[in-house]
Amino acid sequence: MHRNSSEEGRQGRKIELLVLHSMDGFYKSTVEWFKNPKTAVVAHYLISKKGEISQMLKDGWAGYHAGDYETNLRSIGIELEDEKKGEAWVYPKEEIKALRWLVKRLCKKYKIPKDKEHILLHKDITPERDDPVGNFDLDWIASFKTSYLRSVGRNDLSIS
């Protein structure tokens, strides 16, 4: 858990956003980098291309990842290991699976709606950055609701 560049308690703000990032480096070195107390940027979770998840910061603490103080206070940051294949940046299936698992879990725990207003890419906040790199698409978010509706019928929208 990272203590130095983070803020305990989020000044009373609720967790209501998830912000996704590109790691801009490899999983293992990013885990080590975030452990370094001198590191000023820290997100809560790191996900590797193989789908491993490391938690670097308690959810209850504000990280420094969104480039915007108010957003940091209200969000959980998730960094994805990325890979360039030819001209395209890719996020392997195992990684997206782990990301979906984590997003689902966090949304349930903090009652965050699973939509594009609440699950953000860093470039939604800071458009001049290509982060996550490439055409990272969030269309899979929509599938949460449909598959849930298929499994339980339409009356109860709460996520089990």
Residue 131 touching Zn ion (CB under 5 A): yes
Compare residues 44 and 122 and give the one whose CB is closer to Zn ion: 122
Given 2, 10, 21, 49, the residue binding Zn ion (CB under 5 A): 21
Compare residues 10 and 63 and give the one whose CB is closer to Zn ion: 63
Cβ contact 160:152 at 8 Å? yes
Among residues 105, 160, 112, 98, the alpha carbon closest in space to that of 16 is found at 112
Residue with tokens 């209200």: 74
Query: Which pair of tokens denotes residue 23?
Result: 């790691």
Three-class DSSP category at 154: coil
What's the min distance (Å) between Cβ of 82 and Zn ion? 11
Compare residues 120 and 159 and give the one whose CB is closer to Zn ion: 120
In the region spanning residues 101 to 130, those forming contacts with Zn ion, defined by CB under 5 A, are 122
Q: Say how far apart CA 60 and CA 74 lie, in whole Å.
A: 10
Cβ contact 39:3 at 8 Å? no
What's the min distance (Å) between Cβ of 21 and Zn ion? 3
What's the min distance (Å) between Cβ of 148 and Zn ion? 29
Compare residues 54 and 145 and give the one whose CB is closer to Zn ion: 54
